[in-house]
């Protein structure tokens, strides 16, 4: 593998989404799943899914030079994934791994009107992705390595995360800034039963920017408290029970594990970020370390960016796109405040369209929209001791 022409590699989970068009049926799902019955449906939408295309293509649309690194099989689904991605440029797929004899990951999305979606998912070649799939030569010329969804990739959580540690350390030791995102596993699966505190304690010393959702990390670090809180949530949404103290406590745990920047995605409530007070650790965050004149704006900070007001069409990939916005801000050398605004701005653009990335504009267009007074949603979380800033953020 030769030197990459990209400034960012986005690696991790990737799949093919197959979404049949299903009209509303009397009787709901019971009318669909009847043994021996032929159900008339419409055309299928074929799209890529997972952290690799969602975060990677969002960064690409913002204007970053991106190379995607997911693992597919040498089957028809794998060829379809590569073909869909290639529409965004030949260079973007040069890091894709095609594994002979393996099956590509796919998801059949059953999404009839007025019924909760059902996902039939095959993890496929994601399960065999390992540190050996990343060659050091691929990192030459790259500034940022982002890895997403290790809970949906078997080798990443087996043996208490040894492969995840090896993978991230390879990128970190090459001098890159390393960022990591998670996904919430099925509680009854092997990933759901894994010892995630141990896995993360191994991996996070090699991570500069850690960007899970609050639900994911709370489940992984405090499962009993998570389940207790879930029992109190009538619609399964625990975020209304979250306050500033709990966010600070979780972030403090993660900073103690070695990361420099913790970002917790809060769905409709926005993005919370806390950074290390250790300026030496922050200055050692790889090739996207904040420049000296911006370093103070990134040191010992605790901020929350509410979401911008938009008409929501769909939320597919909203968290992944929010991550893309934050990483774009780092690549551009912005202050923490500006990176946060870009992050929630990209997330807002995402939900204005049904798919994951088509609504994402170039960075300059997004900045113009923000500068022109884009209104923010009302903050509904309890944040004792915090205050609203002039630019619509909340600060502690």
322 lies in some domain: yes
pLDDT tens per residue, range 97-155: 999 999 999 999 887 776 666 788 899 999 999 999 999 999 999 999 999 999 999 99
DSSP state of 9: E
pLDDT tens per residue, range 16-69: 989 888 887 676 677 777 888 888 888 988 889 999 999 999 999 999 999 999
Between CA 156 and CA 199 the distance in angstroms is: 9
DSSP element (H, E) containing 180: strand 177-181
| Half-sphere exposure of residue 171: CA atoms within 13 angstroms, side-chain side | 32
369 lies in some domain: yes
Between CA 335 and CA 312 the distance in angstroms is: 28
pLDDT tens per residue, range 268-319: 999 999 999 999 999 999 999 998 889 999 999 999 999 999 999 888 899 9
Task: Please compute Rg for the chain using Cα positions.
Answer: 20
The answer to whether 381 and 244 are in contact (CB under 8 A) is: yes
Tokens coding 231: 């029992």
Beta partners for 304? 272, 394
310 lies in some domain: yes
Q: Which pLDDT does position 380 carry in this prediction?
A: 94
| Half-sphere exposure of residue 326: CA atoms within 13 angstroms, side-chain side | 30
User: How would you classify the pairing of strands 177-181 and 144-148?
Assistant: parallel
122 lies in some domain: no
Q: Using CB atoms within 10 Å of the CB of residue 197, give its burial: 0 to 12 exposed, 13 to 18 middle, 19+ buried.
A: middle
The answer to whether residue 376 scores a pLDDT higher than 80 is yes
The answer to whether residue 2 scores a pLDDT higher than 70 is no
Residue with tokens 């901020």: 303
Tokens coding 33: 């799943």
- Please choose, from the candidates 130, 124, 123, 128, the residue with its C-alpha nearest in 3D space to the C-alpha of residue 147: 130
Give the ranges where 257-352 is alpha helix by DSSP (H): 279-283, 295-298, 318-331, 336-351
The tally of domains found in the chain comes to 1
CATH number at residue 92: 3.40.1190.20
1 lies in some domain: no
Between CA 330 and CA 282 the distance in angstroms is: 12
The answer to whether 99 and 75 are in contact (CB under 8 A) is: no
Q: What is the mean pLDDT of the chain?
A: 94
DSSP element (H, E) containing 168: helix 162-173
Neighbours of 144 (CB within 10 A): 26
User: How would you classify the pairing of strands 71-73 and 97-99?
Assistant: parallel
33 lies in some domain: no
Tokens coding 392: 């619509």
Question: Domain limits at 239?
Answer: 53-101+127-395
Per-position DSSP letters for 217-233, written without gaps between them: HHHHH-HHHHHHHHHH-
Residue with tokens 């960007």: 211
21 lies in some domain: no
């Amino acid at each position: 593998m030769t030197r990459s022409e990209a400034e960012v590699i986005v690696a991790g989970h990737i799949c093919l989404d197959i979404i049949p068009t299903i009209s509303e049926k009397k009787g709901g799902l019971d009318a669909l799943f009847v043994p021996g019955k032929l159900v008339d449906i419409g055309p299928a939408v074929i799209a890529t899914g997972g952290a690799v295309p969602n975060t990677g293509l969002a960064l690409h649309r913002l204007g970053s030079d991106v190379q995607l690194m997911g693992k597919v099989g040498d089957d028809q689904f794998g060829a379809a994934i590569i073909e869909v991605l290639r529409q965004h440029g030949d260079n973007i797929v040069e890091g894709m791994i095609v594994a002979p004899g393996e099956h590509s990951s796919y998801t059949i999305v059953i999404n009839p009107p007025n019924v909760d979606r059902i996902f039939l998912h095959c993890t496929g070649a994601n399960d065999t992705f390992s540190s050996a799939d990343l060659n050091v030569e691929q990192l030459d010329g790259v500034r940022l390595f982002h890895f997403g969804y290790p809970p949906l990739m078997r080798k990443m959580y087996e043996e208490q995360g040894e492969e995840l540690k090896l993978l991230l350390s390879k990128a970190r030791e090459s001098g890159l800034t390393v960022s990591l995102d998670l996904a919430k596993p099925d509680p009854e699966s092997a990933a759901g039963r894994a010892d995630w505190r141990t896995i993360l304690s191994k991996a996070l010393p090699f991570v500069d920017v850690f960007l899970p959702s609050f639900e994911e990390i709370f489940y992984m670090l405090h499962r009993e408290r998570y389940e207790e809180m879930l029992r109190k949530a009538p619609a399964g949404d625990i975020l209304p029970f979250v306050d500033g103290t709990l966010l600070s406590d979780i972030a403090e745990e993660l900073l103690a594990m070695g990361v420099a920047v913790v970002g917790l995605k809060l769905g409709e409530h926005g993005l919370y970020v806390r950074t290390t007070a250790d300026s030496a650790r922050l200055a050692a965050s790889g090739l996207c370390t904040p420049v000296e004149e911006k370093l103070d704006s990134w040191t010992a900070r605790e901020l929350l960016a509410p979401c911008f007001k938009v008409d929501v069409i769909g939320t597919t990939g909203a968290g992944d796109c929010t991550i893309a916005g934050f990483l774009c801000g780092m690549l551009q050398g912005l202050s923490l405040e500006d990176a946060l605004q870009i992050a929630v701005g990209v997330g807002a653009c995402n939900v204005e369209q049904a798919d994951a990335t088509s609504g994402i504009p170039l960075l300059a267009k997004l900045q113009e929209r923000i500068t022109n007074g884009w209104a923010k949603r009302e903050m509904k979380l309890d944040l004792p001791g915090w205050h609203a800033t002039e630019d619509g953020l909340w600060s502690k």
